[in-house]
Amino acid sequence: MKRNKSIGVFDSGFGGLSILKGIVKTLPEYDYIYLGDTARAPYGARTKETILEFTKQAVDFLFQKNCGLIIIACNSASSDALRKIQREYITKKYPGLKVLGVLIPGAEESALVTKNKKIGVIATEATVFSKSFEREFYKIDPKIKIYQRACPLLAPIVEEGQEDKDSTEIIIKDYLEFFRNKDIDTLILGCTHYGILKEKIIKNMPYKVQVVCESDVIGKKLEGYLARHLEIEKNISKNGKRVFFTTDTTTRFEKLGSKFFGKKIEVKKANLLGGVASK
């Protein structure tokens, strides 16, 4: 059978490019299509109904682009929309195709590295309020105690390319003060945007902890998934091709996206409502 499908990666904006970068580092041979819904980013403060609708549109777009597997590289969408997408939407509309998220792999990795079973999470408001991390950790190990801090300003800062401003470090330090007396030994960066702030987060944490960044984890997790699901893997093409789409201005996405991805990218415009793409 001819391999002719790509792996789709979707995020509300630029953050998922760091996830794709980590995946490509581990699995460079496959073809990938990236979609950033930058026109409507960030998702973190939106309602769960809105996030679900946006995620459905992204899934439609990527499956129409002949993706055989989609990774939702957005914790807000993974928290609020993924279960309904998996259990209801694609089972009816795209039977046999799969959509995965990034939240569970991050939780699993954190559970492995923690020594005292006290884990901190920084994430968007949508992710924190969904209690998704609480549910996943309870399934992994009910003895794990988690402390979550919503950081609503961080994703917009990254989306605007303002991560190097002095004020950003002040904001990060203020958010992390929440953990001073919590005795956590592990901190999850529970938003894909936060990877670009990783060094600043480590620097401004009140004390030393292990930091789990999803972009460092997802590649290996996907490799294992494909090894277990050869019925999917055998259809993914291996030409090392990467195609990038944005719902907003392509020139801006190329500039900031290249920073996230680590190399220059060329971007096409996507219309999620109509599924139409143009150069």
> Do 179 and 77 share a domain, yes or no?
no
Spatial distance between the Cα atoms of 54 and 10, rounded to a whole number of angstroms: 11
Last residue of a domain, one of 163, 195, 214: 214
Residue 213: CB atoms within 10 Å: 24
Domain match, 11 and 45 both = yes
182 with 221, same domain?
no
Residue 191 a catalytic site member: yes
Tell whether 61 is covered by a domain: yes
Residues 210 and 229 in one domain: no
221 and 181 in a common domain: no
Residues 76 and 134 in one domain: no
- Domain range for 194 is 104-214
Residue by residue, what is the 3-state secondary structure of the chain? CCCCEEEEEEECCCCHHHHHHHHHHHCCCCCEEEEECHHHCCCCCCCHHHHHHHHHHHHHHHHHCCEEEEEECCHHHHHHCHHHHHHHHHHHHCCCCEEEECHHHHHHHHHHHCCCCEEEEEECHHHHHHCHHHHHHHHHCCCCEEEEEECCCHHHHHHCCCCCCHHHHHHHHHHHHHHCCCCCCEEEECCHHHHHHHHHHHHHCCCCCEEEEHHHCHHHHHHHHHHHCHHHHCCECCCCCEEEEECCCHHHHHHHHHHHHCCCCCEEEEECCCCEEEC
Phi-psi region of 22 (alpha: psi -120 to 50; beta: other; left: phi over 0): alpha
pLDDT of 276 reads: 41
Residues 13 and 57 in one domain: yes
The closest alpha carbon to 123, from 162, 149, 153, belongs to 149
From first to last of its 279 residues, the chain has per-residue pLDDT tens of 568 999 999 999 998 999 999 999 999 999 999 999 999 988 988 999 999 999 999 999 999 999 999 999 999 999 889 999 999 999 999 998 999 999 999 999 999 999 999 999 999 999 999 999 999 999 999 999 999 999 999 999 998 889 999 999 999 999 999 999 999 999 999 999 999 999 999 999 999 999 999 999 999 999 999 999 999 999 999 999 999 999 998 998 999 999 889 999 999 999 997 544 443
Whether pTM exceeds 0.85: yes
Q: Are residues 33 and 65 in the same domain?
A: yes
The reply to whether 36 and 111 lie within a common domain is: no
Q: Is residue 210 part of a domain?
A: yes
Say whether both 147 and 241 belong to one domain.
no
* Residue 174 domain flag: yes
Annotated catalytic residue: which of 67, 74, 151, 213?
74
Query: Residue 74 catalytic?
Result: yes
Number of domains the chain contains: 2
* Pair 113, 70 in one domain: no
Instruction: Assess whether 200 and 265 both reside in one domain.
Output: no
- 1 found inside a domain: no
Of 214, 231, 246, the one marking the end of a domain is: 214
Q: Residue 260 is part of a domain; what is its CATH number?
A: 3.40.50.1860
Annotated catalytic residue: which of 67, 151, 191, 213?
191
Q: For position 274, what pLDDT does the model report? A: 52
Residue 24: both structure tokens together? 């490509």
Last residue of a domain, one of 214, 229, 263: 214
Residues 6+ apart with CB under 8 A from 69: 5, 7, 8, 97, 98, 99, 100, 232, 236
